[in-house]
Amino acid sequence: MNRLFFDLPPFLALMAVFWIGACIGSFLNVCVHRFPRANSLWDQLRSISVKSSHCPRCLTDIRWYDNIPIFGWLSLHGRCRACGQSISLRYPAVELFNALLFVLVYWLEIPMAMGAPLEASSAFAELGPQTIPGLGTWSPLGFLHLRLACHLVLIEALLVATLIDWDLMIIPDGCTIPPTVFGVLMSTLFGIVHLVPVWHQDPRLLKDFRIAIPKSLHPWFLPDWSVPDWFQTSPHLHGLLVSLAGLAVGAVLVIAVRSIGSKVLRREAMGEGDIFLMAMVGAYLGWQATILAFFLAALLATTAQLLTLSFKLDKEIPYGPYLSLGSLVVLLGWRPIWGQFAERVFSLGPLLLPVTFVMLITFPLLLFMMQGIKWLLGIPLYPPELPGEWSAADQSLFFSGENSDRHQGNWKPETDWPGDSAGRGTSGLETWRNW
């Protein structure tokens, strides 16, 4: 059993983690504010460093002591020092929330009791990196901090994507593509930052299905090994495979649901940004955790809509926050989720293929069933687009169309200023009529 020897007092460690989280939260505010204002990925990344933090009203640079997370906003009483423009409460709120999130993740993933076992970590699994491929020269505590750093990068990217998607219903590429590349590189470089191996099967469980499988297929579907040997001999290649498999499964899941849902519901089921978001999650957590996070997000979104149905009947909802929350719950609760439920499902090996096929068939059937229930209840299946607000400009345009001749019902004056007809866009028509 691997034991952890944590020399730093826990309260000092948590205080340091809190302050680091608050400082990074200040940087996240910059990303949330500037990413949506740029179109391309390069412009989004460049916008972070183009100009220092400044007041949007008077463009005065914020002094370093006014930019201290949380306390800077409190010392300014929420207003710009130069012009008095109010500063949104959201900025210190994000910094405080991120600091508390750092403390929560650190407390769950790093057991701080003296001599605590590695099994106490919330990200522990029996087949985790400490077993396959093994820690090598890494100490158990060093390994946990290395994997924690990767998880925090993922969590920060999810937080930025959540805040932007909640405001604007878009997920810029700057939130997802750079962290995805970082996740693939870290998984390949170290080979020990994954949760579970890319492939695992239980030979004893598979043998229960031997009656339903022809004997000629037994060598393929009923192997005697649990994990391929090369996972331990080639940890870097295995790490790359874990990350790429998770990336591909996350993207394909969203693409499939988006395509099927759009055809059945006749409207966009999920946005393109959700594809890159789940691909990023898969690059860090692997394909097994990504599938769990995806279905948990659907459950969370459905529950939230049912609870708020009487208060808000929006046609579209931002789905990125639910995907992010589902991923966070799976990550922080990985030890019980994997040990008590998921391991039995994902250890089916090749038998997962027919299970996947059945799920692909079941999903559109469930959508059609939902549409049928709506039809029986008299709910419009495809509600029409709501008309926009009738503005003063619309009224003026309507009135001009009803009275195209400004002299209608009136005697034409002997002197007529050409600007009147030109302003109405009828100068050519009146010239033709009166010529």
**What average pLDDT does the segment 264-281 reach?**
88
pLDDT reported for residue 270: 85
pLDDT at 29 exceeding the cut of 80:
yes
pTM: 0.82
Q: Residues 367-404: pLDDT tens digits? A: 788 778 878 877 777 656 556 666 666 666 666 665 55
Percent of the chain surpassing pLDDT 90: 49
**What average pLDDT does the segment 318-341 reach?**
95
Burial (0-12, 13-18, 19+ Cβ within 10 Å), 192:
buried
Higher confidence at residue 370 or residue 193? 193
Alpha carbons 228 and 389: distance in angstroms, whole number: 63
pLDDT reported for residue 260: 87
CB contact at 8 A, 118 and 144: yes
For residue 61, the cross-strand partners are 54
105 to 100, 122, 300, 332, 375: CA distances (angstroms): 9, 9, 21, 7, 45
Q: Residues 225-261: pLDDT tens digits? A: 678 889 999 999 999 999 999 999 999 999 998 998 8
CB contact at 8 A, 7 and 120: no
Burial (0-12, 13-18, 19+ Cβ within 10 Å), 297:
buried
| Domain coordinates in residue numbering, the chain | 1-120, 121-380
Q: Residues 114-152: pLDDT tens digits? A: 788 899 999 999 999 999 999 999 999 999 999 999 999
pLDDT reported for residue 311: 46
Q: Which of 198-202, 367-371, 427-431 has the highest mean pLDDT?
A: 198-202
CB contact at 8 A, 214 and 241: no
Q: Residues 274-294: pLDDT tens digits? A: 999 999 999 999 999 999 999
Hey, how many other C-beta atoms are within 10 angstroms of the C-beta on 25?
Answer: 25
